[in-house]
Structure 1
Amino acid sequence: MTAPVRRPAGVTPGRSEAVLSRLQLLVTRKLDGLLQGDYAGLLPGPGSEAGESREYRPGDDVRRMDWPVTARTTTPHVRRTVADRELETWLAVDLSASLDFGTGQWLKREVVVAAVAALAHLTVRGGNRIGAVVGTGGASPAPRRWGPTPPAAPVVRRLPARSGRKEAQGLVRAVAGTEIGPGRADLGTLVDLLNRPPRRRGVAVVISDFLAPPEQWGRPVRKLRVRHDVLAIEVVDPRELDLPDVGVLPVVDPETGELHEVQTADPRLRRRYAEAAAAQRAAIARELRAAGAAHLRLRTDTDWLLDMVRFVAAQRHARTRGTTR
């Protein structure tokens, strides 16, 4: 089923274009200024082409031991590798109704688009291809006269992998212009689409708030990790972690439209909410760690681009020390 490319509800075309232009300007300026190098990526892989050898250091992957050099020098050496070129980066972009929310400087969906823009910018600089599958809630079905109304069917849109700056900008605009429908995308099915058809080893990125139960998407992520380097980008809003003391707070579920009134003046309620939210985020991190995916958390109330730069720097540092993650 193909998603229409329309403006999201509640977002005017002028604001959407202004936000997208601002995001692309931020990404280009900061990433080019802070991430220097001839071949940089958000999740640099070890590569498959043999490079130079160097002495073994604690933490190096023993599978990359250079035994001939080790035998000649009697000192343990590891073989460095050169990054592969012309790889594919595929994105699984979750645009469920819960992403159309934000109490910080940005909406969660805007941070999602920002992450897509950063990934596209880093990918095309190396001459690689980038593609995406975008999932969102479906259109609301007509209400039944008798019985409950069936839930909206998820909508998925596939954007083919292409190289080139113009094509990458088109992919970002297609993601930004996708309408968020009511309901939740099936994140497990969305991740599974990155395995079909089978592709050569590359980079797979899953961008979501991961509010769906971990048992729905955990196994597909583990399956994806068998063949690809996997990065999970979790988008979080501060109000999903704790509640402010503002008295009676009307809360609307963006996926169902249900309205609830919450008495935030109750300290026990706020404590239970914070504890439940912390347990939920810990379960998400635990499932991603078990799947072997790199995990990056972006918040709507912080400098998400600085968080991405720090993540890339940490990945580079770990890679130069020979570790796998």
Structure 2
Amino acid sequence: MKPYLMAEPALRRLELTITRRLDGLLQGEHMGLVPGPGSEPAESRAYRPGDDVRRMDWNVTARTNEPHVRDLVADRELEVWALLDATASMDFGTVAMEKRELALSALAAIGFITQRTGNRIGVHVLHGGGVRTLPARTGRPHLMALLQAAFALPRTPPGVAEPLLGVAAEHLGRLTRRRGMVVVLSDFLDSPETWEPPLRRLTARHQVLAVEVIDPRELTLPNVGILTVIDPESGRRREAATGSSRLRRRYAEAALAQRDAVSAGLRRAGVTHMRLRTDRDWVRDLVRHVMRQRRLAALAAGPTRHGHAPMSGGGGDAA
């Protein structure tokens, strides 16, 4: 990690950039990052096609003989947990920043949004052969200390055995008892079979946003002659003759298949998926994601049905 990233002035500049560009867009709207207005059950209403069946209100359904679901409202105090992948594969970048720097910038954006609305944030860091937990608290001093700790993480030497992302997600699921929001920031290079089930279990109690970070060199191979490539997590080296158009085509096809597998795994897990790239304006992509999710939430809410007043029911619980 570059030394300047550990400096307080760098964090202050990042905060200024984020708040200037997002001010008024996300303030008071912590759930704008994911579909749905919140995580706590509210009043019941008649079921409509496309509603999440996990929000069925069985008590009201039994009384009215018509399917009902419970709407959700935002918590007064939201607890946000971020699962930050800081393993060796994230220490890679060929454009404006490394993947880990991009993940940290996204974490900072989420943290500043969370802190401004009075919510709690904590971080679960996968790094250096283990998992480290930074507890969830409120306030700007806590957030700045949390970001300083995350930004100061050293690089992981090649060959260090590190837990899988799924293991860290499983650990986070056991740690977080209170309903809230979970943001997973990773390149998701582990096999989807290892992280998909833990993420699916997280969605049973939390709203989950997966932030996938990508560098363009992971998608296409340039023609630069003989290229020595190194696996950052195992330390293995291999030479590739990038002058071969067949090799470059096979590389692009394999990369596309890998990203499609990640998207499919996240979709099956039931999480919201946001993709950020090191060669793009990540703040603009974040804004676009928020606006798209708000449109989806508005469409899902739909117009109030005439003749069906909201009903309160007991016993129903939202997932």
Asked if these proteins are the same fold (TM beyond 0.5), I'd say yes
2:197 maps to what in 1?
219
Match of 1:39 among 29, 38, 41: 29
Cα distance in 1, alignment partners of residues 29 and 38 from structure 2:
13
3-state SS, counterpart of residue 132 of structure 1: strand
What per-residue deviation string (whole Å, max 9, x for no partner) do you get for residues 202-235 of structure 1?
1111111011111111111111111111111111
Cα distance in 1, alignment partners of residues 176 and 94 from structure 2:
40
1:125-164 correspondence to structure 2 within 5 Å: 125-137=116-128, 154-164=129-139
Judge conservation of contact 2:27–2:117 (CA < 8 Å) in 1: no
2:106 maps to what in 1?
115
1:175 maps to what in 2?
150
Shift in CA distance, 60/222, structure 1 to aligned 2, threshold 3 Å: closer
Shift in CA distance, 283/162, structure 1 to aligned 2, threshold 3 Å: same
Judge conservation of contact 2:47–2:69 (CA < 8 Å) in 1: yes
Shift in CA distance, 290/78, structure 1 to aligned 2, threshold 3 Å: closer
Equivalent position amino acid for 1:48 in 2: E
Cα distance in 1, alignment partners of residues 174 and 218 from structure 2:
33
1:279 maps to what in 2?
257
Shift in CA distance, 198/38, structure 1 to aligned 2, threshold 3 Å: closer
3-state SS, counterpart of residue 196 of structure 1: helix
Shift in CA distance, 260/92, structure 1 to aligned 2, threshold 3 Å: same
Shift in CA distance, 205/309, structure 1 to aligned 2, threshold 3 Å: same
Judge conservation of contact 1:39–1:125 (CA < 8 Å) in 2: no
2:63 maps to what in 1?
none
Shift in CA distance, 301/58, structure 1 to aligned 2, threshold 3 Å: same
Match of 2:93 among 81, 97, 102: 102
The farther-off stretch of 170-179 and 269-278 is: 170-179
How many residue pairs end up in the alignment?
A: 288
What per-residue deviation string (whole Å, max 9, x for no partner) do you get for residues 166-204 of structure 1?
211221111111223234442111101211235121111
Judge conservation of contact 1:208–1:235 (CA < 8 Å) in 2: yes
Cα distance in 2, alignment partners of residues 267 and 246 from structure 1:
12
3-state SS, counterpart of residue 156 of structure 1: strand
2:240 maps to what in 1?
262
Equivalent position amino acid for 2:154 in 1: E
1:293 lines up with 2:271 in the alignment: yes
Q: CA deviation at 1:45?
A: 3.7
1:93 lines up with 2:68 in the alignment: no
Match of 1:205 among 160, 172, 183: 183
1:304 lines up with 2:272 in the alignment: no
What per-residue deviation string (whole Å, max 9, x for no partner) do you get for residues 104-130 of structure 1?
111111101111101111212222111
Shift in CA distance, 229/47, structure 1 to aligned 2, threshold 3 Å: closer
What per-residue deviation string (whole Å, max 9, x for no partner) do you get for residues 261-306 of structure 1?
2111100000000000011111111111001010011100001111
Match of 2:228 among 250, 260, 266: 250
Match of 1:165 among 134, 140, 154: 140
3-state SS, counterpart of residue 103 of structure 1: coil
Gaps of 5+ in 2: 61-67, 302-317
3-state SS, counterpart of residue 120 of structure 1: helix
Cα-Cα RMSD: 2.9
What per-residue deviation string (whole Å, max 9, x for no partner) do you get for residues 4-42 of structure 1?
xxxx4xx23x35426544432221211115x15543442
Q: How high is the TM-score relative to the length of structure 1?
A: 0.79
Q: CA deviation at 1:316?
A: 1.6
Judge conservation of contact 2:91–2:155 (CA < 8 Å) in 1: yes
